[in-house]
Amino acid sequence: MTTALRDGHETERAEVILARYRAIRHRLPPASFPAQPRHAPDLGALADRFDAVLFDAFGVLNVGTSPIPGAPERIQALRRMGKRLLVLSNTGSATLEDLARKYQKWGFDFEPADIISARSVLEDHLRDYPQTMLWSAVGPAESRLDLLPARTLPHGPEALARADGFLFLSSAGWDGAKQDALVAALKQHPRPVLVGNPDLGAPYEDTMSREPGLYAHDIQDRTGVVPQFFGKPFANAFDAALARLPGIATSRIAMLGDTLHTDILGAAAAGIVPVLVTGHGVLKGCDIDQAMAEADIRPAWIIPSI
């Protein structure tokens, strides 16, 4: 049951989101994991093991609108060591240019070319569809839906009838009534659903927001329409990252993230070394051993912060 609204998102209790992740685990990529993760004090202690590092943003580089203390300095130190660094984010509502400006405001020197988002991966795959298709884009106006490389119209009653497919980029402003209307429209006329943020939830202080992935799996359960997901943990996001790191063995690439079912699972499935950051994000204050056991997902390394 929805408990509140935060930043325009419906919210849910964290245990409900985590239970939902376990329920849809069979829809996520298969992967193998070490019997036991190893521990290190920070990323600096592991730097010699890797030639490239992929960073999730929330819980790794920042919390809310503030950088994690020491994170910008760590990025600079890694650059001085000659490491290749990329941000791999499940954000669907911001352009790469907007993301770069946000990170730069926090003291990071990432440029748009250093960032791969779920939205940018979706945009690349949109070009595989006929340009004549008309898409209903779900997301707030500030998501700059007009910049998508496709014919779009704002989501609403007209879109439910006219659209050839649906692009689910953000759940801001989405609610149960809109979900029910979309489900009814897809039952009557099945169409493609492309999801630019596979996350089921994102953490706040005492709850979690309902994210596009949660609604997308509900669509699959209720209509039989199988959404196409873009972003972690799915291979398309990691393929996009590896394409920017030619000549670097996956065993020399680390993925730093705070979530087991997206960052850690996706990295393991791609053959990249998963490193779980526990001090700031989804698992802050949790029993990490219990969380890993319940998810049956384990990283290669655990660090409290970068």
* Tens of pLDDT, residues 105-124: 999 999 999 999 999 999 99
Tell me the pLDDT band of 145, cut-offs 50, 70 and 90.
Answer: confident
CA-wise closest residue to 282 among 274, 291, 270: 291
Is the entire prediction scored with pTM above 0.85? yes
Q: Which pLDDT score is estimated for 237?
A: 98
Question: 227 or 281, which is more confident?
Answer: 227
Residue range(s) in the chain whose domain bears CATH number 3.40.50.1000: 5-120+233-303, 131-229
Tell me how far apart the alpha carbons of residues 130 and 165 are, in angstroms, rounded to a whole number. 11
CATH superfamily of this structure's domain 131-229: HAD superfamily/HAD-like (3.40.50.1000)
Say which range, 11-15, 64-68, 182-186, has the weakest mean pLDDT. 11-15
Q: Is the pLDDT of residue 2 over 50?
A: no
Which backbone phi and psi does 196 adopt, to 5 degrees? -95, 20
Mean pLDDT, range 129-156, rounded to an integer: 91
Token pair listed for 237: 């996001």
Q: What rounded mean pLDDT belongs to the chain?
A: 94
CA-wise closest residue to 150 among 196, 105, 108: 196
For the domain covering 5-120+233-303, report its CATH number: 3.40.50.1000
* Tens of pLDDT, residues 21-33: 999 999 999 999 9
Q: Is the pLDDT of residue 3 over 70?
A: no
Tell me the pLDDT band of 1, cut-offs 50, 70 and 90.
Answer: very low
Q: Is the pLDDT of residue 222 over 60?
A: yes
Which backbone phi and psi does 202 adopt, to 5 degrees? -130, 140
Cβ-count burial of 272 within 10 angstroms (0-12 exposed, 13-18 middle, 19+ buried)?
buried
Percent of the chain with pLDDT over 70: 97
Q: Is the pLDDT of residue 53 over 80?
A: yes
